Structure 1
Amino acid sequence: MGKLTALKIRSLIEPGRYSDGEGLFLEINGKGAASWVLRVQNKGKRQDIGLGSLKAVSLKGAREAAFLTRQKIAQGVDPVAERKQERQVILTFRKAAEMVHEEHKEAWKNGKHQDQWIATLKSYAFPKMGDRLVSEIEGPLIRDVLAPIWLTKPETARRVRQRIGTVLDWSYARGFRATEAPMRSLSKGLPRQPKKENHFAALPYASVPNFLQKLGERESVGRVALEALILTAARSGEIRGATWSELDLEAALWTIPAERMKMGRVHVVPLAPEAVAAFERAKAFKVGASELVFPGQNVKKPLSDMTLLKILRDMDLAVTVHGFRSAFRDWVAEQTDYSGEIAEAALAPTVSNKVETAYRRTDFLDTRRLLMREWAAFCKKTPPPSDENRHDESNARAWIRTGEADVEREVRSALLG
């Protein structure tokens, strides 16, 4: 039996806390307002939980609320967190996806990726789960979204799965879901996708010289851009977005700013004489209204990524533009004695391990200058250097490799401890 009664409560006028027992109090403040408070031990800590004002909650109601609250705590439920979640408006998957897209799109440098990210969800996820609350979405529903395209459009399906997971993880972080995205279990409910041997179909490096010779039979902004891409081992977006201010043709250097690089770091590309010549030919397409080296039909915008691919298709080649980077990497491995670290530095890829991260203290510019000269000479069937030049180059490479060995020993020693 509690200590308080309805009659006693009506007689209370002094500010303070009046106990009813078992942690339940009626609290009266200095302005005469009264409210119910329950004091409990929750996970070893004392906690005061408000149960409502005296005007809204009667003595009987307060006792019932106190009993239910103590019961929940005994079951491991946090009543305060539960109450916050009940008050929070849970978003639909559609609304959550739109908010994630809005928050993240500025961090994506590729405008096409910005559009594709939300477009894939609109096409494949929204029809089945767009109007469902994010708190209700579990593995079976996600599987039903992915199953129709899992084998017929495997790459698209993987992207949809990843983007659904991003939206649900974001919702968990915002308190709209009780758990993170249930993505791990999906593999059990979907068939195994066939492995794709070559993600980027590449022209064998031995065929690149003849390809470039055929490419040069006609001159267009797209063909010159593709030649420059091959001679610099650059990505399509890097070459298509190149500006004249990035190029120093006298110093034979192309400095790509961090905001245009996949890893967000400045990348300096040493230009072989053949690459410099390609950029010099690009001046024929220069227009005053644009700073772009390779302008598109709208001169203030870069060439479309499909322009370079169309050149390959018109030449009856079932390869990708990106595949020329693979051809370069294979040529370095099989036809030269440059280290893998030098080749990777030339490609400026995603750093994959601690050793490569440590190597990023130097960009091996001098070594890469020699490497890109040899690659360009191979690609363009340029006559080899004179005996004197070869002697100077051999000495330079020997000197540089001595420095590389010192760096490698230092790096590996630091990593080992």
Structure 2
Amino acid sequence: MSQELSKVTKAKSQSEPGRYGLGGGLYLQVSPTGTKSYIFRYKLHGRSRHMGLGSANTLDLKEARKRATKARLLILDGIDPLAEKDAQADAERQKRARTKSFADCAAVVIANKTKNAKNPKHIAQWTSTLETYVYPTLGKRPVGEVTKHDVEAVLRPIWDTKHETASRVRGRMEAVFDYAKAMGYREGDNPAAWKGNLQPLLGDGSRAKRHQPSLPYTRIFEFMADLRKREGTSARALEFAILTAARSSEVLGATWAEIDFDAKVWTIPAARMKANREHDVPLSDAAIALLKALPRIKDVPYLFAATRGGKLSDMALSMTVRRMNGETPKFVDRVSGDPVVPHGFRSTFREFAGNMTTHPREVIEHALAHRLPDAVERAYQRSTLLPKRALLMADWAAYCERPNTVGNNVVPMAQARA
């Protein structure tokens, strides 16, 4: 053994590049850069091959010989040591891949979507819905171990009560599992797939549409009077949303550059519209007055800016309504009894326009930026009807100011029936 150690010591002292034999197919290899490692040379099926065993700085002679002996035993069994080494490395990679959690994969999917996202709010919804409904039970689970019954267990509690949200969560989970399969983190069918998978378990998902809680239009003056007593940007943003019958996201993203004070028009870019089409909103005198009273912050483009200069949060309008309602809600939906929400004021406006005015239906639908349901009607009605919508919004603003205000196009129902 002392002679063998002497061999190794002598070989390790070499600085010239080359291979220095240590017996039994074991060599010490010196690279052109001076690094030294053990290799094992062998022949199998008439081919000469060599396999790296490890660095001489970390591997001693005893361990190097043990590895060389193990390789020779494999050769005796007709197994290529290199192929075996690759197979073990691949198995180890697969083992590590199997430990990838659902949340790990979801983070990559969300990051990929963020790169090309046109709507940051949509990406934020991905994160919030997964954090709320999926991560508590499946977030840390290895993505390769999740079954369709696990997915069903996540969706079942909200399938009937929050069906639209549940459907979106299912689709987002399906995308995460697709990514996991592509990366080799799981095998087999996608557990969140719909047809032939979750559909038999959850049903076809046809549910009665649940409307957002809305305030009866007969109480809008009461609400607006209370709202106008409140200070703060959020209160003004909610007031503007009601006067324009716009969606919260459209109002929160509104910029000064979108307002034409001379024409009394707010032009919302297609990118912020649900229908992905530019939309002109006629502004009533009340809406114009509200905007002119707003403070302008230097270098901040938004009408309703947060304290630090960015946009108000998505919850700003909702929290304003909640504060107005207090612990015992007074502004509630007349059917469900639920506290009203900002989006519900679009329904309030729709009911007012339909019940209290003679404005045509297509004018009202245009005001709400709704797509007309009938294809023939859409083909003939390509105009934005802006002048007629301006009259409608003026009537709405007047009614919000004082319910008994009657404009040229506002006809109380009792009079209309006479």
TM-score range with shorter-chain normalisation?
0.5 to 0.7
Residue 268 of structure 1 aligns to a residue whose secondary structure is strand
- Aligned residues of 2:365 and 2:371 also touching (Cα < 8 A): no
Which residue is 2:340 aligned to? 319
Which residue is 2:361 aligned to? 340
Q: Separation in 1 of the partners of 2:180 and 2:374?
A: 31
Which residue is 2:148 aligned to? 139
Q: Separation in 2 of the partners of 1:356 and 1:162?
A: 33
2:299 to 282, 289, 296: 289
2:114 to 105, 115, 120: 105
* Residue identity in the other structure for 1:321: P
Q: Deviations over 1:322-374 (max 9, x none)?
A: 11111111122222233333222211246766457546733221221121112
* Residue identity in the other structure for 2:274: K
Matches within 5 A, 1:37-48: none
Residue 315 of structure 1 aligns to a residue whose secondary structure is helix
Q: Separation in 2 of the partners of 1:215 and 1:208?
A: 10
Matches within 5 A, 1:368-407: 368-381=389-402, 383-384=405-406, 390=408
Which residue is 1:329 aligned to? 350
Q: Deviations over 1:137-183 (max 9, x none)?
A: 55223213334666787776444323213334567899987656532
* Residue identity in the other structure for 1:331: F
Q: Separation in 2 of the partners of 1:219 and 1:129?
A: 42
**Deviation of the 1:102 alpha carbon:** 2.4
Q: Separation in 2 of the partners of 1:174 and 1:352?
A: 43
Distance 1:321 1:289, change over 3 A: same
- Aligned residues of 2:244 and 2:281 also touching (Cα < 8 A): yes
In the alignment, is residue 274 of structure 1 matched against residue 295 of structure 2? no
- Aligned residues of 2:163 and 2:207 also touching (Cα < 8 A): no
- Aligned residues of 2:143 and 2:177 also touching (Cα < 8 A): no
In the alignment, is residue 240 of structure 1 matched against residue 252 of structure 2? yes
Distance 1:267 1:145, change over 3 A: same
Unaligned 5+ residue runs, structure 1? 1-85, 395-417
Q: Separation in 2 of the partners of 1:110 and 1:125?
A: 22
Distance 1:196 1:105, change over 3 A: farther
Distance 1:360 1:264, change over 3 A: farther
Unaligned 5+ residue runs, structure 2? 1-93, 326-330, 332-338, 411-418
Q: Separation in 1 of the partners of 2:131 and 2:236?
A: 38
- Aligned residues of 1:138 and 1:182 also touching (Cα < 8 A): no
Which residue is 2:57 aligned to? none
* Residue identity in the other structure for 1:228: F
- Aligned residues of 1:243 and 1:293 also touching (Cα < 8 A): yes
**Deviation of the 1:202 alpha carbon:** 0.6
Distance 1:309 1:140, change over 3 A: closer
Q: Separation in 2 of the partners of 1:264 and 1:177?
A: 38
2:386 to 362, 365, 368: 365
**Deviation of the 1:211 alpha carbon:** 1.4
Which residue is 2:264 aligned to? 252
* Residue identity in the other structure for 1:304: S
Q: Separation in 1 of the partners of 2:187 and 2:380?
A: 42
Residue 337 of structure 1 aligns to a residue whose secondary structure is coil
- TM-score, normalising length: structure 1: 0.60
Percent identity, please.
37
Q: Separation in 2 of the partners of 1:350 and 1:258?
A: 14
Stretch of structure 1 that moved more, 311-320 or 93-102: 93-102
Matches within 5 A, 1:11-410: 93-94=102-103, 96-106=105-115, 108-122=117-131, 124-126=133-135, 127-128=137-138, 132=142, 138-147=147-156, 157-168=166-177, 181-184=192-195, 185-186=197-198, 188-190=200-202, 198-282=210-294, 285-298=295-308, 300-316=309-325, 317=331, 318-349=339-370, 354-355=375-376, 358=379, 361-381=382-402, 383-384=405-406, 390=408
Q: Deviations over 1:64-95 (max 9, x none)?
A: xxxxxxxxxxxxxxxxxxxxxx9xx9987545
Q: Separation in 1 of the partners of 2:279 and 2:151?
A: 40
Distance 1:250 1:129, change over 3 A: closer
- TM-score, normalising length: structure 2: 0.59
Matched residues, number: 297
Distance 1:153 1:275, change over 3 A: closer
Stretch of structure 1 that moved more, 196-205 or 347-356: 347-356
Q: Separation in 1 of the partners of 2:128 and 2:225?
A: 40
Residue 315 of structure 2 aligns to a residue whose secondary structure is helix
**Deviation of the 1:201 alpha carbon:** 0.8
Distance 1:144 1:257, change over 3 A: same
Residue 305 of structure 1 aligns to a residue whose secondary structure is coil
- Aligned residues of 2:212 and 2:343 also touching (Cα < 8 A): yes
- Aligned residues of 1:139 and 1:183 also touching (Cα < 8 A): no
